[in-house]
Amino acid sequence: AQKVTQAQTEISVVEKEDVTLDCVYETRDTTYYLFWYKQPPSGELVFLIRRNSFDEQNEISGRYSWNFQKSTSSFNFTITASQVVDSAVYFCALSESNYGQNFVFGPGTRLSVLP
């Protein structure tokens, strides 16, 4: 069955620190997709990145980077030089191609960046 674990419930850092949010997933599918979303206090989940199971290249987008490792079933998210505006709840999600028909979200990690 699909499952996504985000072991860090809350993280607090001081501005300009680097922070890594962990995501571990379980799937029996060979083709699957991993996502990260950001949820600010307004409520809307904002899409950050999508990765398919065949693409293990790490990705960097500005201050954001993602490390996908199939060997450990992990898809971790790092924010470099964090800013107050990064404060939000971050969700990792899994979508399977063959066995699942919907997204499964992790419980989320609440990130607080203090000035």
Q: Where on the chain is the footprint of other proteins (CB under 8 A)?
A: 31-33, 35, 37, 42-47, 50, 52, 91, 95-98, 100-108
Cβ pair 86, 18 in contact under 8 A: no
Least distance CB 35 / other proteins (angstroms): 7
Phi, psi angles (nearest 5°) of residue 110: -85, 115
Looking at residue 80, its amino acid is T
What is the H or E stretch that residue 83 is in?
A: none
Least distance CB 58 / other proteins (angstroms): 19
Least distance CB 3 / other proteins (angstroms): 12
Q: Which is nearer to other proteins, 68 or 82 (CB)?
A: 68
